[in-house]
Each structure stands twice: as C-alpha cells, then as structure tokens.
Chains A and B, each alone.
Chain A
Amino acid sequence: MEETKPQLLRVTIDGIQVEVEPGTTILQAARKIGPEVAPPAMCYYQPLKGSGGKCRACLVRVAAGSEKDPRPMPKLVASCLTPVQDGMIVENKTNPQVIDARNGVVEFLLLNHPLDCPVCDQAGECDLQNFAFDHGKATTRYEEDRRTFEKNDLGPYIQLHMTRCILCYRCVYTADQITNKRVHGVLNRGDASEISTYIEKAIDNDFSGNVIDVCPVGALTDKTYRFKNRVWFTKPVDAHRDCPTCSGKVTLWYRGDEVIRVTARKNEWSEVTEFICNTCRFETKKTSDWTIEGPTKVSRASVISANKYRADAIKPSFGQRLAAAEYKPIHDERDTTQLSIQQLPPERFAKLPSAES
C-alpha cells in the first residue's frame, strides 16, 4: 500500500519560501530555513513540552494569515507557538515593528539582570548575551535599583543565582518532564517572582543536573565547574560511555588534557538532544572513562571558537542599518583650542610611575 504523504504547507518568512509539515510552528519553519531568519528564543525549548510564549523575544508579524484568509493578524504573535497555515506570509527581521518589539524585550530582560558577564560562567554560551548582542543597546534608560537575591544552593551540584534569572520556566518544565518529582518552582509573582525550592530544600534527583543545561542564562550553574574556566578557552569533544541510567552521550570540555566539564550534547539551537544523568555529568571526569568520538561541531561565528563576538559574523541589525542610513555628522562649532586638556605641562605626565620605567 502506498503511503500518503501529508500535504506540505508553504510559508514565506522574510521573503524566503519553505515547505513544512502541518502542525509546524513559525519558529520551527524559520529554523528550517536557517539561522539568519530564525527568531531568537529565550524560553522556548523544543524538547520540553509546553515551553514557550513567555519571553516574547520571538514575536513576529503575520502579514497574511493563510491562502484562504489573507488578512494580517492584528497583533505580533509568538512564533514559537503559532502554527503555520498554507500561504502564510511572516515578517521577521524585515519588519521595523518586530525589531522594535524585540529591542524592547531585550531592554526589559536586562532591566533586572546584573550584567555580570565578566564573572559569569555562562558567558560565551549565553542566550541572553547573544540576544542582547543582536538587539540590545550599550546604554540603559533604567535608573532605579535592580532586583537582587542571595545566592542559593540547590543540593551538592547546583547553585542558583536568582539575580540572573529571566524566568523562562525551562528548568521547571525539565524537572516536571524528565525527573519523577519536581521540588522547585516559581514563588511569588510579578517582578518579585523567583525560582526556588520550597524552604531551601535540596534538589536530589539523578537527572537534576539537566536544569543547568537548559538554563538560557547563568542562573543555574554547575558547582563542580564554577569559576574554573571560560568557555572559549575550552575545547569541546563528543564522547560516550556505557551508562546504566542514561544514554551516556555527552560533550566533554577539555582544557589541555583535563576534562573540566561534562554537558549533554546540544544542537545548533543550543537545545539538548539527549538528557544525561548526574553520574556522567558530575562524577565522571577522567578521559579514561570515556570513548572519544571526535571534536564537537561548533559554528565558526560562535564565541566558543572565535573567542569573541565577531562583528563580521553577525549582520548589522535593521535598527543599525537604519541609523547608518540616516546618519548626519554633527557640526561642532566649539573652539577646541579653548579646551585645556592639551595644554597640561609635560612634567605632570613625567611624574607618573609608568613614565619612569
């Protein structure tokens, strides 16, 4: 008997047409085209059921709902949850309204974020850092005090630094879906909400370490790795071992000959493909324990291989291009000779210790 293929749906995202199966979301369709058009996602996590819709980073404009009903949708929609229709036309990075909303979301997410990337273990593989590099500003309009929390130990392996959290709920879904008992959740509401275990209970579960991998920021960190290294100094290598509790397929992060961290393998959208157990993650850190498969594929544009955010790897945003197009040099009529900076006596500089050596 011949298998009947489901009718493929045509959807156009930023002028690029793609055919996808029914039930696909706009975000998934955009990811199928490639990273240039894929909307950023801070809370959506494909392996976790029910995730998404919260961060509003992936908002897109639907310029035409479908072939049958080509009316545009009245509001921006969350692309991670909206299924595509045949003939749908989506505007993502080509629409100034979308870019504006995303710039707003970055600004909102960074309001209460400590911006301590220089000391944060997540720096370099942080979704929020990437998102802010694409859509954020170098300055802030926020003048008030930021929300802060004390650091919190969740058992022997995991540390929670709630100040950095963006409340994506990913760790809550992870605990719900891959462990048999969730002991942490969201307390309080509004901007006072926090991830916590009830009365500082420890998370004690064989798969608890996966919340570290799913965390898009540095709120949940690995206590066996904290402050040991920066991600761009390490070399990721795929490896596996015979594990009685999980698949045993991991990525080892080497510095020199030493395995300093073990994580689950992630795809190009930094989503975990197979969750791993705590024994593999925290207690098996000798090369002899593992069968090495080869180096992990890392995009050349990524901070992990380039050691920095490469401006040439990332195209200027719509806002930047607009600003560049409208740039006018300011005519500064001030008399620079009146500024006394250049007229300081040279002996003042000679006294500085650096000048002596």
Chain B
Amino acid sequence: MATKILTEHINVPGIETFDVYRKQGGYTAVEKALKTMTPEAVVEEVKKAGVRGRGGAGFPMGMKWSFLAKPEGVPRYLVCNADESEPGTFKDHYLMKNIPHLLIEGMIISSFALGANKSFIYVRGELMYVIHILEKAIAEAKAKGFLGKNILGSGYDLELVVQPGGGAYICGEETALLESLEGKRGNPRNKPPFPAVKGLYQSPTVVNNVESIATTAWIVNNGGDAYAGIGIGRSTGTKLISASGHINKPGVYEIELGVPVEDFIYADEWCGGIRPGHKFKALVAGGSSVPILPANLALTLANGEKRLMSYESLSDGGFATGTMLGSGGFIVFDETSCIVRNTWNFSRFYHHESCGQCSPCREGTGWMEKVLHRIEHGHGHQHDIDLLVDVARKIEGNTICPLGDAAAWPVASAIRHFRDEFMWHITNPQEATQPGAVYRGEMALV
C-alpha cells in the first residue's frame, strides 16, 4: 500500500469536525512545533523534505520560505492560495471540503515557521460552501485554543482569515491574488519586487498552495528526511492528482511521485483504464495550461523509457516531446475527442480570463480564440496554422504574468503534435463541421 500523507483519514466519518480529526492524530504537529521546535527548525525540516510547490510552478517550498525578507518592525504574512481555477484541477477543493482541519493545522505550522501573526486563506469565490466549512473549522480550532492569542501557552499569536475570491482565474496568480486581497482590481504586479520582499500591504509575504501547506503537518510529525524518502529524485513526497476525462474511475488520487504514467492510467488502484471500447489518444498532464501530449509520448519518453509521474520525467525532452506536472490536472482524451475543438475550448477560457493589463495577452488570447473558432467551424485557411504558431510565440514569455504562457502553450503544443488534425479541419470543412465528427486519420492510439 502506497504511503498516504494527505488523504489517509479522508474517509473517516465526521473528519471535518475538530474532535474526530483530533482523535485521528490531528494537531499533534502543532503541539510538537510550537512546544518543542523553533521557527528556524521547522523551516529546516521543510527544506530537508524538498517539497515542491503544488500550485503548478514546482518551486521548492523551503527555498521560497528562506527568501522571505525579515526586516525589523514590519509584519510578515502567509497567504494560502486556494483560488484553484485551473481547468482540470480540483484537488484543493476536495481537500478543503473533506478535511479542512488539515489545512488549518498546516497554516498554523507554516505561519509559526515564517513568524506571521495574521494569515489568509484566499478561497475561490465560487466555493462559498467550502468557505463556510473552513470558517466553521477555524471557529472550532479557536475554541480549543489552537488559534488566537497565546496558542497552547507558547506565546505565539495567530489570526486566520478566510477571504472569498473575486471570481477570476487570474486571481490565482500570486501577485494578482495579493492585489485582490488588498481590495484592488486583480491585476498581476510587475516583478521584481517579488512577494517575499514586498507582498501583501508592501510587507514580506509567502504565498503557498493548499496542498503544499497541508503537507507541513506530516513533515513536522515525521521529519523532513522521511518525506524526502518518498518519491523519486528531486520530486519528493506525494501529489494529489485530479484525474478526469475518458477514464473508468475519475477522481482525486494521492500518488507517490514516480509512479509510471501507464500504471496511473491503467491500474485499478487509480484511473482504471480508458473507458471500454476506446483507445487512448492524448493527455493533458497538469491542468489545461501545460502542453498536450499524444498517447505515445505520454506513456514513454523520447528515448523509449517509461514516463513517470514526476516533475523531471514529465518535462523530459522540453516542450518538443515533454510537458509539465503543473497542478496535477490529469485529463485523458480518447479517440472520440477532437483536439481542435478542445484547443479552441481552452483558448476560449484564457481569452475570457485574461486580465487585460498587458497587450500581448489581452489582444493575443482573443486573436487565437477567434482563429481557432474559425478553424473549428469550417472557415479556416491553411495559413491560419502558422499564424497561430506565430501568435503563440509572440505571447509566450513577453507578458507580465504566466497567463500568457499558459494561453500559448496548449495551442502551440496541439499544433506541434496534431498538425494533421488541424489540416484535416481546414481542408475538409464540410466533413469536420458535422456533429460529432472526429479526425480518423493516421495517429498514435494506444
């Protein structure tokens, strides 16, 4: 049985209440950290664990913590990014809904390690019922003395605030999140300065994903070295994967990093295989913004080895033959799905969600969507394919925040790997615009 760090007790009835959570060994990490450890020691354990940010970028969490500026007389803040809006990702929602105290425990430990006395959980605005669950859990923890003034007699104060989000995908970008939290329009800031130097209210701030923060409880209980022992290489620990698409068992799975992609899709423990009678066509491995891969490249690396569920293995081969682990939004497509339509759909999302601050993203996302719409509806030209590649190239890397990249990568990768399918749409518009019409030409199906 694989190690479960986050979801071990998730099926225990009543785990969302304080008493049941406490009975399952909850809040012992808070006691251990506050009573026996110094903040520096906690940071050291997290560094040893080598947890990489679970929100998508995969930046080592311990390193992010150690970059936090500590000027005298200025408050420091911890902000939990629970604005999970990436299409295909629903792990944080699952975690907060089922086991809210795990996040709160992680928040107490992380805030203690960073010396923050006021911490925020910025929850996606659409998840109002989750906000109510969190607020109830915070009230319970406060009543038991785990939050508020002088927690467990250690002299450490912490106030936890749940903030409903403004309802935009862009507010999941850390600096846009901070702007939104300050009550402003959710526009990403120019970097530098980074939030670790000037973040919320111009004070040093750390922004971490829900899943990253939730792991700290286990790390404090079991030690950083134990955590680093799980997983493979620099991809340590476990990861929640939100599996969806044409698989037999969609849902959230906690895996040890390093599981082969093939096993994850076909094993009964996880996705349980492609739905009966169909074949595996394409995979989006880490949420809609990462490059899409055809089935053969999803399962094996360019050199023929098995591709593993880890940061390194998924990005092996760069964008030519690789992708990214991202936020773990694992979307599987079978041969009945139309890549052009899917790319248009993703592009439509990014067009709708662009904040409109910088010109390449504001104008480029709309342009790509319109061209893809045209191709999908049978009005494409042959030069449109190269046009899309060129527009994607001019957006990528030239924008303020990564939304520009996120909009460009799916389009560029879909054309890279499925150019024939785009071509078929353009040259056979009559056939391609029939309801349910899908390209049946030569492609790698598994």
- Do A191 and B168 touch across chains, with their CB atoms under 8 A apart? no
Chain B proximity mask over A93-121: 1 for CB below 8 Å, otherwise 0: 00000001100110111011000000000
Measured in the bound complex, the distance between the Cα atoms of B364 and A111 in whole Å is 9
Closest B residue to A107 by CB, please name it.
Answer: B394
A54:B400 contact, CB within 8 angstroms:
yes
Are B360's CB and A190's CB within 8 A? no
20 residue pairs bridging A and B, Cβ less than 8 Å apart: A54-B358, A59-B398, A81-B190, A105-B359, A105-B360, A105-B394, A107-B394, A108-B360, A108-B362, A111-B367, A143-B374, A166-B359, A189-B355, A190-B353, A190-B355, A190-B365, A191-B351, A191-B365, A193-B355, A193-B362
Q: How far is the CA of A189 from the CA of B362 in the complex (A)?
A: 9
Nearest A-chain residue to B397, judged by Cβ: A75
List A residues 164-193 near B (Cβ within 8 Å).
166-167, 169, 185-186, 188-193
A189 adjacent to B400 (CB under 8 Å): no
Minimum distance in angstroms from A117 CB to a CB of chain B: 19
User: B360–A56 contact, CB under 8 A?
Assistant: yes
Residue in A56, A81, A189 whose CB lies within 8 Å of B354: A189
- Distance between A322 CB and nearest chain B CB, rounded to angstroms: 17
Residues of A contacting B400 with CB < 8 Å? 53-54
In the complex, what residues of A have CB within 8 A of residue B370's CB? 144
Task: Report the Cα distance A169→B185, complex, angstroms.
Answer: 13
- The answer to whether A188 and B363 have CB atoms under 8 Å apart is no
Contacting residue for B359 out of A108, A185, A186, CB 8 A: A108
Cβ of A142 within 8 Å of any chain B Cβ, yes or no, is yes
| Residues of A that sit less than 8 Å from B by CB | 42, 52-57, 59, 75-76, 78, 81, 100-101, 104-105, 107-109, 111-112, 141-144, 166-167, 169, 185-186, 188-193
* B325-382 CB contacts (< 8 Å) to partner A: 351-360, 362-367, 370, 374
B207–chain A nearest beta-carbon distance, Å: 20
Shortest CB-to-CB span from A332 to chain B, Å, is 22
Which chain B residues lie closer than 8 Å to A141 at the CB level?
387
B residues contacting A by CB (< 8 A) are: 168, 170, 185, 190, 351-360, 362-367, 370, 374, 387, 394-395, 397-400
Q: In whole angstroms, what is the CA distance A189 to B351 when docked?
A: 10
Chain A residues, Cβ within 8 Å of B363: 108-109, 111-112, 191
A95 to chain B, nearest CB (A): 14
Q: Are A186 and B356 in contact (CB-based, < 8 A)?
A: yes
Q: Is the CB of A186 within 8 A of B185?
A: yes
Q: How far is the CA of A142 from the CA of B369 in the complex (A)?
A: 12
- CB of A190 within 8 A of CB of B352, answer yes
User: Which of A76, A142, A186 is the one whose CB lies under 8 Å from B367?
Assistant: A142
A109 contacts across to B, CB distance below 8 A: 359, 363
What CA separation (Å) do A243 and B367 show in the bound complex? 49
A100 CB contacts on chain B under 8 angstroms: 394
Asked whether B398 lies within 8 Å of A56 as measured between CB atoms, the reply is yes
Asked if A76 and B397 sit within 8 Å, CB to CB, the answer is yes
| Chain A residues, Cβ within 8 Å of B359 | 42, 54-57, 105, 108-109, 166-167
Q: How far is the CB of B167 from the nearest CB of chain A, in Å?
A: 11
Considering only CB atoms, which chain A residue lies closest to B364 in the complex?
A108
Contacts of A188 in B (CB 8 A): 356
Residues of B within 8 A of A81 (CB): 190
Q: Which residues of A contact B190 (CB under 8 A)?
A: 52-53, 78, 81
Bound Cα distance A192, B394 (Å): 21
The verdict on A55 contacting B398 (CB below 8 Å), with A108-B364, A191-B366 known, is no
- Contact with A76, one of B168, B365, B366, B398 (Cβ below 8 angstroms): B398
Residue among B351, B387, B394, B397 with most chain A CB within 10 A: B394
| A-B pairs with lowest CB-CB distance, top 5 | A104-B394, A193-B356, A108-B363, A53-B190, A190-B354
Q: Which residues of B contact A76 (CB under 8 A)?
A: 397-398
A288, B53: Cα distance in complex, Å: 68
Chain A residues closer than 8 Å to B351, beta-carbon distance: 190-191
Q: Give the docked Cα–Cα distance between A112 and B364 (Å).
A: 11
Tell me the minimal C-beta distance from B398 to chain A in angstroms. Answer: 5
For the complex formed, measure the closest distance between the CB of B411 and the CB atoms of chain A, giving whole angstroms: 15
Say yes or no: A191 contacts B354, CB within 8 Å.
Answer: yes
Contact partners of B356 in chain A: CB under 8 A = 167, 186, 188-193
Q: Which residues of B contact A59 (CB under 8 A)?
A: 398
Question: A53 — which chain B residues lie within 8 A by C-beta?
Answer: 190, 358, 400
Contacts of A108 in B (CB 8 A): 359-360, 362-364, 367, 394
B362 touches which one: A143, A144, A190 (CB < 8 A)?
Answer: A190
Measured CB to CB, the nearest residue on chain B to A104 is B394
A112 to B400, CA, bound (A): 20
Known: A108-B364, A144-B370, A190-B365. 6 other contacts (CB 8 A): A59-B398, A101-B398, A105-B359, A167-B362, A186-B185, A191-B363
In the bound complex, residues from chain B placing their C-beta under 8 Å from that of A111 are 363, 366-367
Q: A169–B189 Cα gap in the complex (Å)?
A: 14
Closest B-chain residue to A144, C-beta based? Answer: B370
- Chain A residues positioned under 8 Å from B170 (CB to CB): 189
Most buried by B among A42, A100, A107: A107
- Chain A residue, CB-CB nearest to B356: A193
Q: A57 CA to B394 CA in the complex, in Å? A: 12
Q: Are the C-beta atoms of A56 and B362 separated by less than 8 Å? A: no
* With contact pairs A54-B400, A101-B398, A142-B367 given, residues A189 and B168 touching in the complex (Cβ less than 8 Å): yes
Please indicate the chain A residues that have their CB under 8 angstroms from the CB of B352 in the complex: 190
Instruction: Tell me which residues across on chain B come within 8 A of A105, comparing CB atoms.
Output: 359-360, 394, 398
